[in-house]
Chain A
């Protein structure tokens, strides 16, 4: 059994020097494969588009987006929910699996955490861009100001602001905690003076004393224990933006768990979208093994089925509520102006998901990659349908209207994706994408066992 695990998790039981060497080399190696640069440049171009779109949005006004009264929320809010969801998978992998002592997480948690950070950074950007007067976003903070007023604490948007801010900080701390020993590794292995100083400063003079390790590990686990309820709370709070509102289609008590499941679902889809090319491109098949992928897919499958259940219960309760507003909103969702989005969403999130029951599919990386992409699309559409279809058909029929998306909506969405991946590339280049000390410990335990 032990051999089996060793065989699947860290293939060929490399010695620690080899492990650290191979991981660190990605960062410290002088040259990288052309594919890296091509990919980076592609995403960097999208990043520039993102910056342009933001400049245009702030200069011209949110009226340039596909918004109107009644549909005053659109793709901006959709992007927030979608990006946060992606972030959550990272935290789940690194924190929750750490608590449950799932050793297989060790080799993927580092970039999962990075993914969290970048995704949440993207998510944090959109609520600000979505404002009518973005330059005043800080009025949501309890700062002394000349308006003699405070944030309106009852507003879910303030909860949102607090939750996302907390989430960013905690993720950052957790990520950095885990990074300190590896930074020390890079410090000691770096050849160039510049790299030594750079990593040396970040490593805070870590020397691996047994006393330090004890405190480090204690807090590391505590942070994990804190991050876990936080993850659940963050997406629950995000879902409250909708659940608290009286808009038909928003006002639903199932939203918090349903959103958390959705977050894991889309998050793991994104993990696969990144992990599959990563291991292919950098020859990390020994660290991100078949078993990692397989476990990830299984989590995705579970979360996906929960989401599917969410759709069912949402539908049922809209009907069971008996209020004409909810029932009509349901009807509009199936047959109304946004119905195409709804049906595509179902096909992606529930349809494509079913393929994952088959081992042959789970072993086929290309196919998995495709499915992961499809599910990313589906989950974006899910959030979009929720955001727009409620207000478009709410209480007074006279006010009903639909908004059509503009080029700016898409520029901002794909621009943010480009930015996310461009930064991901930089991360892989500058910091160890795989936790060195944890993999080493892992391998040693397996060797010993």
Chain B
């Protein structure tokens, strides 16, 4: 929209914005109600504008903004040029008919292929792109939350200089001045800081920039990066190389502190590959075996057949000890029982080429050398593991954050441009970026939020969201994709490439042109290939070819001794990452897979350690390095390594937005020097205060009830129906059965495949307009997620087994909830769904009372007020096929009835029965391991029917005779018999 150069009083505007609470504003100019705004209104909403002229009172202005906000999507949906629909043709918008576009989302700089659903130009839902190697049709919580991030009313909305609103042109003027300043001295004194990127075109632009300004400083600041693997493989291969484990090929996997299911750009693909070797289907008598040695509880460890929790600094010794047993180097004593290591080594050797050892990226180079050597000696190259050139952009000569700050402090930097990074927040404790920044006369920040760095910089420019910009990006295996916009920037954001082009003097280069140029000239894509690329969402032929090399393994002889005393293990929060997603309420309120903590981080400690330090959950501890101290509540986690405290990053920001500010504590300052992931020498003391750790699950034992049934592969082979056999004989029913002539929709959840990643929960939230309720309401037990993933611990508290159980509505055939509803607000549909009719519900809550699975959720308060005149951009986020529930009504999982009906309509148009797989609920579609199978039980050929007849299939609480339509496949694990006598098997 048209911007004005006249500066506005930002302080006043912020005050107003705050006092206005939920009513958000589209841009500072609008808030200021300037001539520009009136003009803009005239152009866009003549009628409204007329009214605006008559009644220019504050309320009128607000109403107007509400309207413009609600239509923000529409205005933007003068469709962005040249984008191509994925499946639907023609691309013209048919009201009521969703279009789907292929694009990619950047998470940590890496690409995750996505198919985005767009209603009348409003992006509402993200799904994985089946053709994209990093998502394979699956998605995770961060992808699901992308649309909320797009509409986030608190995203930065206008360029500013010294907190005064400026226009983009004014910024270009500043860039021009910068170019004049550094032009005649080869860029000396200019520093460019970027976040982690894999974008070929942006890399190309930066390379051109470095060519133009040889002496400029480039700093790639990735607060979550770890260099161990890179260093080690550099040493082995003589050039930058990345490991690419092929979990689908591996029979025996040993994880040395590697959370390959939950972390890393390949997590979704790895989860799919891993589960493909784990799930037990008819006749199968083999499955892969996973040994996990980890320094903090992860979902990878939870899926392992054997798991040892050790302090992170002890892993090198374990790696060396294991290597020794594979005939590499000398044995050392390790915190894992020697007999266990023997058994693991034997297992690996037996598996030969299909044995795989993976190490966590944050482990030291020594560990990665050991691992490479072990895989080499197992002959797993090309089978269970490959090596590829790393997809991310790490040009030689790039300086570290520490080095850059040093230069800044010495005054050697006269201009700094920070592009999509937030060093003022993510810098380690010993790198005082903020005070060094003061010494830089010309500072510019380009980012999505007015964050700590933006506030510290003189200039700030809003960065466009992935769903509103052109760009390209590589996946973990090197495959490149085009990022295509679904809407024009809602809040006037600009793409990174625009900024880089401007630095190159190409002030008017549009991101699309830049992209097209790069791919035509360097990428060699003609128009047909380009069109194919944006249709499929991947650029064919860009996948990195494995490095063929017979590089001799380098065996590191030195083994760092494990630390002593309390060790602090720093981990990225699974959803907030380094804090860039902290203003996303969906992610804040999504329970963490194991701790189930929401809205904050905590100091996770082992029960034994808590006992020794006399800490109880809720006690506040003070963790300090030098003068950097944080206070946060303790949460006692079974299976946590002893004498270790785990703290998640990404919390405790002061300048990200009303949602994320002040949530949790910021652990970045605890980092120093080389110690980025395993911190020792910190002082840990118990503070007087107490603070609640808000979680969504309060009881962690199954109390001996047969809820998650599990057994070993051996048990299954011996007796495939072991799960059913444990079931009490079903008591008969007095009622004549209701005929089910049409579909009988049913769901089967494979608990062997489920890794507890929570993707299904966030997908459900995105699909079904489920509100977030905030930390206080969650503490009251009012959370609204229709689907929850229960996590139970089995066995000892020190090293328990962990089982996950997703619990959606069971859609019982003899539903206890329906019988007790006094107003027929929950009844059965013709196709066997347990339907909830919101506008009949008076809210007696008897149904929830009588639901043995407690899957019903109640609108205790008005969680989604969309009253007239109070429209926020978030209204545009709502899925138009799902009604938004009012206060005082009950709601619950519907099996995504809107998708069922869409499938039915299409089937009826084609005059066919609904084909198996034609209807997929959001949870099943998102699941990385395809653990959720949905279909029509009356169709003899359907997968769900076959799985329902599978020997492992059982119904939850079958003895209640509720006849659930959602059933479970018992969890099968594959422990090593040789270890059985050594320690109690983890599961069972």
In the complex where A324-B703, A398-B699 touch, is A155 in contact with B807 (Cβ < 8 A)? no
- A295→B960 CA distance, assembly (Å): 47
Q: Check B698–A69 contact: CB distance below 8 A.
A: no
Interface string of B843-883 (1 = CB under 8 A from A): 11110111011101111111000000000000000000000
- State which of B41-49, B453-461, B816-824 sits at the interface with chain A: B816-824
Q: Check B820–A139 contact: CB distance below 8 A.
A: no
A72 cross-chain contacts in B, Cβ below 8 A: 845, 848-849, 858
B856 cross-chain contacts in A, Cβ below 8 A: 69
- A387→B454 CA distance, assembly (Å): 54
* B182 on the A face (CB < 8 A): no
Q: Check B705–A400 contact: CB distance below 8 A.
A: no
How many whole Å from A442's CB to the nearest CB in chain B?
A: 45
- State which of A19-27, A241-249, A369-377 sits at the interface with chain B: A241-249
* B841 on the A face (CB < 8 A): yes
B700 cross-chain contacts in A, Cβ below 8 A: 397
B861 cross-chain contacts in A, Cβ below 8 A: 60-61, 63-64
Interface size class of chain B, counting residues whose CB lies under 8 Å from the partner chain: 35 or more
Q: Check A391–B887 contact: CB distance below 8 A.
A: no
How many whole Å from A441's CB to the nearest CB in chain B?
A: 45
A67 cross-chain contacts in B, Cβ below 8 A: 845, 860
B843 cross-chain contacts in A, Cβ below 8 A: 62, 131-133
* A395 on the B face (CB < 8 A): yes
* A403 on the B face (CB < 8 A): yes
* B213 on the A face (CB < 8 A): no
Contact of B702 among A133, A152, A397 (CB under 8 A): A397
- A400→B853 CA distance, assembly (Å): 11
* B788 on the A face (CB < 8 A): yes
In the complex where A158-B822, A324-B703 touch, is A130 in contact with B844 (Cβ < 8 A)? yes
- A401→B821 CA distance, assembly (Å): 23
Q: Check B807–A396 contact: CB distance below 8 A.
A: yes
- A245→B460 CA distance, assembly (Å): 60
Interface string of A394-436 (1 = CB under 8 A from B): 1111111101000000000000000000000000000000000
- A161→B790 CA distance, assembly (Å): 37
Q: Check A155–B821 contact: CB distance below 8 A.
A: yes
Q: Check A247–B859 contact: CB distance below 8 A.
A: no
How many whole Å from B867's CB to the nearest CB in chain A?
A: 14
Contact of A62 among B699, B853, B860, B886 (CB under 8 A): B860
* B777 on the A face (CB < 8 A): yes
Which chain A residue shows the least CB distance to B728? Answer: A323
Contact of B844 among A69, A131, A150, A246 (CB under 8 A): A131
Q: Check B820–A155 contact: CB distance below 8 A.
A: yes
A149 cross-chain contacts in B, Cβ below 8 A: 823-824, 840
- A396→B957 CA distance, assembly (Å): 9
Interface string of B745-786 (1 = CB under 8 A from A): 000000000000000000000000000000001001110000
In the complex where A150-B824, A151-B822, A244-B820 touch, is A394 in contact with B699 (Cβ < 8 A)? no
Which chain B residue shows the least CB distance to A67? Answer: B860
Q: Check B840–A324 contact: CB distance below 8 A.
A: no
How many whole Å from A340's CB to the nearest CB in chain B?
A: 19
Q: Check B705–A132 contact: CB distance below 8 A.
A: no
B703 cross-chain contacts in A, Cβ below 8 A: 324, 328, 397
Q: Check A401–B819 contact: CB distance below 8 A.
A: no
In the complex where A400-B698, A401-B781 touch, is A133 in contact with B888 (Cβ < 8 A)? yes
* A154 on the B face (CB < 8 A): yes
* A290 on the B face (CB < 8 A): no
Contact of A396 among B781, B824, B852 (CB under 8 A): B852
* B425 on the A face (CB < 8 A): no
In the complex where A151-B824, A152-B823 touch, is A63 in contact with B860 (Cβ < 8 A)? yes
Interface string of B680-701 (1 = CB under 8 A from A): 0000000000000000011111
Q: Check A400–B699 contact: CB distance below 8 A.
A: yes
Contact of B840 among A139, A161, A394 (CB under 8 A): A139
Which chain B residue shows the least CB distance to A64? Answer: B861
How many whole Å from B420's CB to the nearest CB in chain A?
A: 39
Contact of A157 among B780, B822, B840, B857 (CB under 8 A): B822
Q: Check B957–A395 contact: CB distance below 8 A.
A: yes
* B792 on the A face (CB < 8 A): yes
Q: Check B820–A247 contact: CB distance below 8 A.
A: no
A334 cross-chain contacts in B, Cβ below 8 A: none
B824 cross-chain contacts in A, Cβ below 8 A: 149-152
Q: Check A397–B701 contact: CB distance below 8 A.
A: yes
* B889 on the A face (CB < 8 A): yes
A136 cross-chain contacts in B, Cβ below 8 A: 842
In the complex where A67-B860, A130-B844, A139-B842 touch, is A155 in contact with B822 (Cβ < 8 A)? yes
In the complex where A68-B781, A155-B820, A395-B957 touch, is A131 in contact with B705 (Cβ < 8 A)? no
Q: Check A69–B781 contact: CB distance below 8 A.
A: yes
CB-CB contacts below 8 Å: A44-70 with B: 60-64, 67-70
In the complex where A69-B854, A139-B840, A398-B807 touch, is A246 in contact with B848 (Cβ < 8 A)? no
Q: Check B844–A157 contact: CB distance below 8 A.
A: yes
- A84→B301 CA distance, assembly (Å): 55
In the complex where A63-B782, A136-B842 touch, is A152 in contact with B821 (Cβ < 8 A)? yes
How many whole Å from A391's CB to the nearest CB in chain B?
A: 6
* B707 on the A face (CB < 8 A): yes
CB-CB contacts below 8 Å: A110-161 with B: 130-133, 136-137, 139-140, 147, 149-152, 154-158, 161
Contact of B888 among A62, A73, A245, A399 (CB under 8 A): A62
Contact of A61 among B701, B707, B839, B860 (CB under 8 A): B860
In the complex where A61-B888, A69-B781, A157-B820 touch, is A137 in contact with B852 (Cβ < 8 A)? no
Q: Check B842–A133 contact: CB distance below 8 A.
A: yes
Q: Check A132–B850 contact: CB distance below 8 A.
A: no
A401 cross-chain contacts in B, Cβ below 8 A: 698, 781
Residue of B781, B791, B857, B862 with most chain A CB atoms under a 10 A cut-off:
B781
Q: Check A247–B849 contact: CB distance below 8 A.
A: yes
- A401→B781 CA distance, assembly (Å): 7
CB-CB contacts below 8 Å: A193-248 with B: 241, 244-247
- A417→B818 CA distance, assembly (Å): 35
* B890 on the A face (CB < 8 A): yes
* B704 on the A face (CB < 8 A): yes
- A48→B697 CA distance, assembly (Å): 40
A62 cross-chain contacts in B, Cβ below 8 A: 843, 860, 888
Q: Check A137–B705 contact: CB distance below 8 A.
A: no
In the complex where A63-B782, A132-B858, A132-B887 touch, is A70 in contact with B848 (Cβ < 8 A)? yes
- A69→B957 CA distance, assembly (Å): 19
Residue of A63, A149, A398 with most chain B CB atoms under a 10 A cut-off:
A398
How many whole Å from B770's CB to the nearest CB in chain A?
A: 14
Which chain A residue shows the least CB distance to B852? Answer: A395
A157 cross-chain contacts in B, Cβ below 8 A: 820, 822, 844, 846
In the complex where A62-B860, A131-B888, A397-B702 touch, is A246 in contact with B842 (Cβ < 8 A)? no
Q: Check A324–B848 contact: CB distance below 8 A.
A: no
How many whole Å from A386's CB to the nearest CB in chain B?
A: 12
In the complex where A63-B780, A152-B823 touch, is A398 in contact with B850 (Cβ < 8 A)? no
Which chain A residue shows the least CB distance to B701? Answer: A397
Q: Check A69–B858 contact: CB distance below 8 A.
A: yes
B821 cross-chain contacts in A, Cβ below 8 A: 152, 155
- A131→B842 CA distance, assembly (Å): 6
9 A-B pairs (CB sep. < 8 Å): A69-B782, A72-B845, A132-B887, A132-B888, A139-B823, A152-B821, A395-B960, A400-B699, A403-B781
10 shortest interchain CB distances as A-B pairs: A132-B843, A63-B860, A132-B888, A68-B781, A398-B790, A399-B854, A72-B845, A63-B861, A133-B888, A157-B822
A sample of 17 more A-B contacts (CB under 8 A), given A140-B842, A158-B822, A324-B705, is: A61-B859, A63-B782, A69-B848, A132-B843, A132-B887, A133-B888, A133-B889, A137-B842, A241-B846, A245-B846, A246-B816, A246-B960, A395-B854, A396-B957, A398-B790, A399-B854, A403-B781
Interface residues of B (CB under 8 A from A): 697-705, 707, 777, 780-782, 788, 790-792, 805, 807, 816, 818-824, 839-846, 848-850, 852-854, 856-862, 886-890, 956-957, 960
